[in-house]
Structure 1
Amino acid sequence: MSTFQTPQYTITEMLKDASDGTLQLPDFQRPYRWDDERIRSLLVTVLRGHPMGVIMTLETGGENIRFKPRPLTGVQLETAAKEPELLLLDGQQRMTSMYQALTGDGIVETEDVRHHKLTRRYFIDVEKALGDARSQDEAVLSLPADGVIRENFNRDVRFDVSTPEKQQLEGLMPLSVLFDQQAAMPWLFGYMQAKKPDEDVDRTAVMQTFTTKILNPMQQYKIPAIQLKKDIGKDAVATVFEKVNTGGLPLDTFELLTATFAGDRAYFEETGKDFRLGEDWELTQKVIDDHRALHGIRNTDILMGISVLVTLEKRKADAAKGLTGKKLSQTSARREDILSMELRDYRRVAPLMRRALPAVARHLRSLHIHSSGDVPYRSQLIALAVFHVLLGERAEEHAVRARLNQWYWCGVLGEQYGATIETKISRDAEQVPGWALTESSELPDTVARATFAESRLGSLRTRQSAAYKGVYALLMAQERPTKDWMLDRELDFATYDELQVDIHHVFPKKWCNENGIEDWRRESIINKTPLSKSTNIRLSGDSPAVYMHRLDAKGLTPDQVDQQITTHAIDPAYLRAGDFDGYFEDRRARLVTIIETAMGKAVARDWDLDSEETDRPENFTEEFEDQEDADAS
């Protein structure tokens, strides 16, 4: 049995159905957003009689799905609660553009290609419309809403078709008039009777030809459609939304799931209303907004975590039944499994994820991750939230927290969460909680596979690198509190913003350039450390042998200054001597020790860098986690 039919609608029929609410949109659809040129091009397509593409509609009243409707943008329904007969699933931008441009006053709120707001009205040149393809393209004009083109900073009027009489004289018919069957012919009669001085156009012949070749065909222009029947399944509608575009932009996982949940019949029968995923997300967004380190988390990230928890429950239930191997459900954060999630499961698990987020923020604070810009991998935070859901209060226990920290640093320094994140989160959800509780002696894959090579310290040069951010945080997360060199204050959550802490060069860039230090060593994380803004200014561009004396003169004794500097895994003797080579070798060894402690495993000792190879310009391009963003949607 077919689940769809393929009718063709005239523009006139579609405009009427939109106007009286017979045709509406599902409420979750994205806002109207077409620009001026796309609207004009669409109207040229109709003028030429070329196909504009298929639209897709869904019959309402089915038992399987229910979507809350809303009128097309610009439609004012006399009865706000009117139930539509069809919902427009694909073609919103085209239909909204035509409705606004071809009905009422024809004024459209749009934008130019640079996204500057415009208010436009569209006209058709009745004489050019009868010409060839090029003339027809020029026949559709986009003008200011009042029909007046001004220049000289709006002081002078260059062109004016603000009244019907002026329009008829110029032969520019508003397209909204063309599609008004009661107004179109009177306007054309007015055009026929108007005449410019010295005009040699036979306006009567133009009017007759225009009526036959342009007006009637445009009013009867047909739009092909795929009309889904009301008894179609919920999964089929979700598939449709996944395949179609809205305004040229593919719907992401959150928007697709919004569509599925909005049509959940069981929820409507239980509550008498439709489920609004966007409203539920607002509750989560409020929690995220309260914690700076979480600000980068997106709705699609949260959906991945919820999917992992839901599918992990099913896997455990299967295991309890004695199922093994391929018969076990798969723990999954994949797009297709998110889209197949049942609303009842989402409603049960989403609040758990929401409540776990503040615990994740506290956890990050303990690791000296202070803001979203300091987070190495956004996706790893979702795994951490899943752990906090599964472990509950036990995640706060010292021994459990220590293992979670080890997992975290192995993921960051091993740079494992930049790709295939769905698999990482799913596998870690299965393995890490039991290991953290010492219920399993088998190392999670993220811990077992994590490696860090000593030579990587030489290539960590930009804050876009996850491992770079990780080492930066570790410098502040040492057991002995890290202190600012000049202010004798710990660099912690309370002081980080107040002191405007950031990562800065130890041997300043200016000094390195003047003393022939290779670029790769100058910019390596080995030559960086967290400092307050005021302290960094105090260093200026001088050798440490010079700026150390300035620090000594700021109220601390030289021994006290040295003590501050040792909290940064730096031997102050090398700074006082201005010995970059000695400093670099010593700091490298100290950072290796810190990394080994954090990861709970040995670092590969492969320090064998050729400065000519590592100093090439291409080695200084920023490293981006592009795969994470691609996988998340």
Structure 2
Amino acid sequence: MPVISLDKSTPKEAVCQVFENVNTGGVSLTVFELVTAIFAMDDFQLRKDWEERREQSFSGDLLSKVTATDFLTALTLLSSFESGGTVSCKKKDVLALTLDEYKKYADSLCSGFSIAEKLLKEERFFSSDDLPYSTQLIPLSTVCTVLIDGNRIHTTSVKNIVKQWYLCGVFGELYGSANETRYANDIVQVVKWINDGGDLPKTVTDFYFNPMRLLGLQSRQSAAYKGVMALVLKNHARDFISGAEMDFSTFSDEKIDIHHIFPKDYCIKEGYDKRKWNSVVHKTPISASSNREIGGYAPSVYLEKLEKKGSVTPADLDGYVETHWIDHNLLRADDFQNVIIDRAKTADRYRGSNWQNHLRQGLG
């Protein structure tokens, strides 16, 4: 049996790297596994503790993708920030985490994650599948934990600043790669911004969104795509049949999903440009019941069906349609090209140059 001998002075991150290099059995050795072994030397069962915390604080859908390693990374970020020294949460920093630090901050961090979950729901991110970045939860929850002191995170002005920073990360698509350095910059800069009115965080100044990007958002896997749909929901978008606002309860009960405004089959039959009809500009949250009535029909046809199905007047239905940033006159005229143009212009007022200034200056 081959044996690799490691001296006691070998850094923990090197031990982890050695295992990753020689591991051919497919068994993952994560940072969490190593910290679990380290804490076991002090007779502390980290895995059991995490499983209990996951059941109590992370059982909801929105936080369900938070992993044990995510939690340790966030806790390391919080601990290093609170220590007043260099803020970092790289692998070597997580492996250097002490049991005392873990016990000191674990409970408050769970509260921070819960507050982050509430903030995300306020911005109409309701499910884990619609969460732009699971990685951005790490600095978001850590910032929320720091701001629990003095109950500041529950004040409107502070919440708006945190949301502003968060949305800049989403629409700037800044959390799609290695992020540990950005985590550290964010917690220091966001908290200083709030406490001292300091300079804008790098995530805010790095933020840029080209309006032409809207046509490039073809897949719901994109963070900005998910952000656009959240903004439509935050515009108090209403169900086409019931007229009910698509809040958290409606989103779950009515099985809200993202669908094309002009049905896909209709667009293909009419020969419309796929880059347009499959872009986020041409999609909106629609309930399962409304989508069944829409079928593959032209809007002028399915709107009449919706009126009969929901016993809704044309004027009321037009109002519901407008909450989705859709011009009802253009939709009833089956004017695909101008629906796309008009909706893109409406979106640009939120997501173009004016919108970038809006985010940089505050949510208002």
TM more than 0.5: yes
* Equivalences for residues 155-554 of structure 1 within 5 A: 226=5, 232=8, 236=11, 239-244=14-19, 247-264=25-42, 274-314=43-83, 316=84, 329-392=85-148, 393-437=151-195, 439-478=196-235, 481-553=236-308, 554=310
Give the whole-Å Cα distance in 2 for the aligned partners of 1:598 and 1:332. 32
Give the whole-Å Cα distance in 2 for the aligned partners of 1:335 and 1:238. 7
Kept in 2, the 8 Å contact 1:287–1:354? The answer is no
Structure 1 residues 342, 552: closer, same or farther in 2, change over 3 A? Answer: same
Deviation at 1:518, TM superposition (A): 1.0
- Once the two structures are overlaid, the 10-residue window that deviates more, 277-286 or 446-455, is 277-286
Unaligned runs of 5+ in 2: none
Unaligned runs of 5+ in 1: 1-51, 57-225, 265-273, 317-328, 604-633
Structure 1 residues 237, 537: closer, same or farther in 2, change over 3 A? Answer: closer
Give the whole-Å Cα distance in 2 for the aligned partners of 1:448 and 1:227. 45
Residue 497 of structure 1: SS of its match in structure 2? helix
Give the number of equivalent residue pairs: 353
Give the whole-Å Cα distance in 2 for the aligned partners of 1:466 and 1:487. 29
Give the whole-Å Cα distance in 1 for the aligned partners of 2:241 and 2:170. 30
Q: Partner residue of 1:565?
A: 321
Give the whole-Å Cα distance in 1 for the aligned partners of 2:65 and 2:356. 25
Residue 251 of structure 1: SS of its match in structure 2? coil
Give the whole-Å Cα distance in 2 for the aligned partners of 1:332 and 1:227. 26
Structure 1 residues 547, 237: closer, same or farther in 2, change over 3 A? Answer: closer
CA shift digits 1:101-121 (9 cap, x unpaired) = xxxxxxxxxxxxxxxxxxxxx
Structure 1 residues 375, 344: closer, same or farther in 2, change over 3 A? Answer: same
CA shift digits 1:458-501 (9 cap, x unpaired) = 010111111111111111012xx211111110100011111010
* More helix, by proportion: 2
Give the whole-Å Cα distance in 2 for the aligned partners of 1:357 and 1:309. 12
Give the whole-Å Cα distance in 1 for the aligned partners of 2:336 and 2:351. 22
Give the whole-Å Cα distance in 1 for the aligned partners of 2:216 and 2:358. 21
Give the whole-Å Cα distance in 2 for the aligned partners of 1:440 and 1:551. 51
Deviation at 1:397, TM superposition (A): 0.8
Give the whole-Å Cα distance in 1 for the aligned partners of 2:154 and 2:6. 54
Kept in 1, the 8 Å contact 2:32–2:72? The answer is yes
Deviation at 1:441, TM superposition (A): 3.8
The structure, 1 or 2, with the larger RCO (C-alpha pairs under 8 Å, 6+ apart) is 2
* More strand, by proportion: 1
Kept in 2, the 8 Å contact 1:242–1:250? The answer is no
Deviation at 1:555, TM superposition (A): 1.1
Give the whole-Å Cα distance in 2 for the aligned partners of 1:293 and 1:492. 15
% identical aligned pairs = 34
Match for 1:361: what amino acid?
E
Match for 1:467: what amino acid?
A
Give the whole-Å Cα distance in 2 for the aligned partners of 1:394 and 1:286. 27
RMSD: 2.0
Kept in 1, the 8 Å contact 2:211–2:351? The answer is no
